[in-house]
Structure 1
Amino acid sequence: MTTTFVPFTRINGLSNRRRYPIIGKIRLGIRALGKSGSYPVETPYFVVPKEVQELYGEKPTELDVMFPSNNPELIFPQSLRWYGNSHGLKCIGNKKQAQRLDERTFRFEPRECPCELLEKGECSERAQLLVMLPRISMAGLYQIDLGSSNSMIDINSYFDWMNTHIGRFAMIQLKLRRVPRHMVHKGQPRIHYPLALRFDGSAADIEELKKLNAEILSKLGSIEVQEPEDTNPAIDPQATTVLEHDLPKALSLNGPGSEQAESATSEPPATSDPTRPVEQADQSPSAAPDTPAAPQMTEPQKRRILRKAKEAGLAEDLILAKIHHLTKKEASALISRLDRQDHSFFDAAAPATAPALSGPRSEVLEPRANATLKANERLTPLTRVQFKTSGDATAFDQAADGEAPVADGGGVPPFLPTTEGVEF
Structure 2
Amino acid sequence: MSPIKGITGVIRLPRLGKIRLGLRKESSEGFPYPVPTDYFVCPDEVRKIFGEKPTELAIMLPTEDPNQWAGQYLRCYSSYRGLICRGDGETALARVNIKTGRIATHEDVETELREITCSPKTCAHYETLRCKRVMNLQFLIPDCPGLGVYQLDTSSFHSIVGINSSLELVKAVCGRLSMIPLSLRLIEKEVEVDGKKKTVRVLSLTASYTLAEIQKFAQMPPGQVLVLPPPDSEAPDDLFPEAVISKENVRLEDGVTERDLIKLWDRAKSKVWQLDIREHQLKEWFEKHCHVNVEMDDFNWPLPPAKFTAEGLNRFLKAVDRDAAS
Task: Specify if TM > 0.5.
Answer: yes
Deviation at 1:138, TM superposition (A): 5.4
Q: Is the 8 A contact 1:132 1:138 kept in 2?
A: no
Deviation at 1:121, TM superposition (A): 1.4
Q: Which structure shows the bigger proportion of residues in strand conformation?
A: 2
Q: Where do 1:12-411 residues align within 5 Å?
A: 12-36=5-29, 37-104=31-98, 106-114=111-119, 115-137=123-145, 139-212=147-220, 215-216=221-222, 219-220=223-224, 222-231=225-234, 233=235, 396-398=237-239, 406=244, 408-411=246-249
Separation of aligned partners in 1, 2:124 and 2:59: 38
Deviation at 1:122, TM superposition (A): 1.4
Identity of aligned residues (%): 30
Q: Is the 8 A contact 2:158 2:202 kept in 1?
A: yes
Deviation at 1:32, TM superposition (A): 2.7
Separation of aligned partners in 1, 2:242 and 2:79: 17
**Structure 2: gaps spanning 5 or more residues:** 99-109, 251-326
1:91 is aligned with what amino acid? C
> TM-score normalised to the size of structure 1?
0.51
State the SS of the aligned residue for 2:158.
Answer: helix
1:418 is matched with none
1:186 is aligned with what amino acid? D
Aligned length: 235
2:214 is aligned with what amino acid? I
1:334 is matched with none
Separation of aligned partners in 1, 2:200 and 2:92: 30
Deviation at 1:227, TM superposition (A): 1.1
Deviation at 1:137, TM superposition (A): 3.0
2:227 is aligned with what amino acid? E
Q: Is the 8 A contact 2:77 2:245 kept in 1?
A: no
Separation of aligned partners in 1, 2:15 and 2:55: 21
State the SS of the aligned residue for 1:183.
Answer: strand
Separation of aligned partners in 2, 1:33 and 1:190: 27
Deviation at 1:87, TM superposition (A): 3.7
Separation of aligned partners in 1, 2:71 and 2:94: 18
Structure number with larger C-alpha Rg: 1
Deviation at 1:398, TM superposition (A): 1.4
Deviation at 1:28, TM superposition (A): 0.3
State the SS of the aligned residue for 1:197.
Answer: strand
- Alpha-carbon RMSD across the aligned residues, in angstroms, is 2.6
Deviation at 1:17, TM superposition (A): 2.4
Q: Is the 8 A contact 1:99 1:110 kept in 2?
A: yes
**Structure 1: gaps spanning 5 or more residues:** 1-8, 234-394, 413-424
Deviation at 1:86, TM superposition (A): 2.5
Deviations 1:255-313 (A, max 9, x none): xxxxxxxxxxxxxxxxxxxxxxxxxxxxxxxxxxxxxxxxxxxxxxxxxxxxxxxxxxx
State the SS of the aligned residue for 1:408.
Answer: coil
Q: Aligned in 2, Cα 1:122/1:407: closer, same or farther, shift over 3 Å?
A: closer
Deviation at 1:44, TM superposition (A): 0.6
